[in-house]
């Protein structure tokens, strides 16, 4: 999760919502990404989607069997769906997102009968740092002088 937090900090430095994600297999990082929706003009360019796409290129498959995803914020419905399609084994996430999440919040996608693959879910990993990054980012956007 330390590497995912680094990606989140790098996203904040680019003016993007600070969320970072890492895909690992057997403890080794095979892809890492931060949110780039603004830079790429791409509403699908969440950290999880970019990390999954890069990992699929790295392994040469659309399925990441035996791979785990570490992300600083609870995934939204779009990313939770992508995680399921990619057959991610374990999902570790930091802060819960009651307003936009879809794992332990909102539609709780992995508990639905229409979900065909659910990862094991480990919430609250690196939660304090993940949440503080997001709070500081949005505080600074509301009051540009607060981060000075």
Minimal distance, residue 31 CB to a second copy, in Å: 12
* CB neighbours of residue 7 within 10 Å: 24
* Residue 67 lies near a second copy (rule: CB under 8 A): no
* Residue 101 lies near a second copy (rule: CB under 8 A): yes
* Residue 123 lies near a second copy (rule: CB under 8 A): no
* Residue 103 lies near a second copy (rule: CB under 8 A): no
For a second copy, the closer CB: 4 or 79: 79
Count, residues near a second copy per rule CB under 8 A: 38
3-state secondary structure of 96: coil
Q: Do the beta carbons of residue 48 and residue 82 sit within 8 Å?
A: yes
For a second copy, the closer CB: 12 or 67: 67
Nearest to 58 by CA among 86, 77, 91: 86
* Residue 63 lies near a second copy (rule: CB under 8 A): yes
Concatenated DSSP letters of 7-66 = HHHHHHHTTS---EEEEEETTEEEEEEE--HHHHT-TT--HHHHHHHHHHHHHTSS--TT
Please give the residue ranges that form the binding site for a second copy (CB under 8 A): 37-38, 40-45, 49, 52-53, 56-57, 60-63, 76-82, 85-86, 98-102, 105-107, 109, 112, 114, 116
Q: Which residues carry out catalysis?
A: 48
């Amino acid at each position: 999760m330390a590497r995912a937090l680094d990606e989140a900090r790098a996203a904040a430095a680019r003016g993007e919502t600070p969320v970072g994600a890492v895909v690992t297999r057997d403890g080794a990082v095979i892809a890492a990404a931060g949110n780039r929706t603004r830079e790429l003009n791409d509403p699908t360019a969440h950290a999880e989607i970019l990390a999954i796409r890069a990992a699929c290129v790295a392994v040469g498959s659309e399925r990441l069997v035996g791979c785990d995803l570490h992300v600083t914020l609870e995934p939204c419905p779009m990313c939770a769906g992508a995680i399921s399609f990619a057959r991610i084994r374990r999902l570790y996430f930091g802060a819960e997102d009651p307003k936009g999440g879809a794992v332990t919040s909102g539609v709780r996608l992995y508990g639905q009968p229409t979900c065909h693959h659910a990862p094991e879910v480990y919430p609250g990993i690196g939660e304090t740092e993940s949440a503080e990054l997001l709070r500081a980012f949005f505080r600074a956007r509301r009051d540009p002088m607060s981060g000075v």
